[in-house]
Amino acid sequence: MISTTANSIFQRAIADYHVYDAIDHPISNPYESNSLEHLLYLKCWIDTAQWHMEDVVRNPEIDPKDGLYWKRRIDKQNQVRTDTVEYIDSYYLQKFAEVKPLAAASINTESPAWAIDRLSILALKIYHMEQETHRKDVDQSHIDSCQQKLDILLEQRNDLSQSIDELLADIEAGKKYMKVYKQMKMYNDPNLNPVLYSAQK
């Protein structure tokens, strides 16, 4: 089951990141560069770094110039995240290229890679919510509240994992088919963002 592999890799990537807990610490991807596992580890590392960028930029005491710097870094990181999701979808498009959909085959609301993207984000929520349950500087009500949230997140992971596995099995069996749309984000494109292309004139 791909979800079992993905969840294990996501946990490893998050744990590896937090050894140094530094946004700019270089990634050391342990998987073969042409493998799906490599993409999954990369995807979660990107998400983890972006998670901590989001923490930094929400500091109410942040200098506005620093805030703008981090906002622009988050935009760039989000584009890298999107590109990596599309690489994962390309892997599955190639994997299932020879599968002929059944006459009654239907399309899913999201592609496999975007569902896996949610699983990666969920792994981060689980990690950080669990950290909250271990804090020594909060009262028991905080611990209890975070434990309840953690229980729900773990249930979500089980449900989402099952859904991803079922989706991929259905695609392989021809019951569903993949149709991938590029995200076509406009705000980073100097030819599509009016503020950017107006500045070039």
Long-range contacts of 184-192 (CB under 8 A, 24+ apart): 185/79, 185/82, 187/75, 188/75, 188/76, 188/79
> Total structural domains in the chain?
1
Beta-ladder partners of 106: 176
Q: What are phi and psi of 168, to 5 degrees?
A: -65, -35
The residue type found at 29 is N
In this predicted model, what pLDDT tens digit does every residue of 121-177 receive, in sequence order?
Answer: 999 999 999 999 999 999 999 999 999 999 999 999 999 999 999 999 999 999 999
Query: Do 40 and 5 contact (CB within 8 A), yes or no?
Result: yes
Q: Which domain holds residue 38?
A: 2-194
In this predicted model, what pLDDT tens digit does every residue of 72-109 receive, in sequence order?
Answer: 999 999 999 999 999 999 999 999 999 999 999 999 99
This prediction's pTM: 0.92
Record the tokens describing residue 165, joined without a space: 């596995």
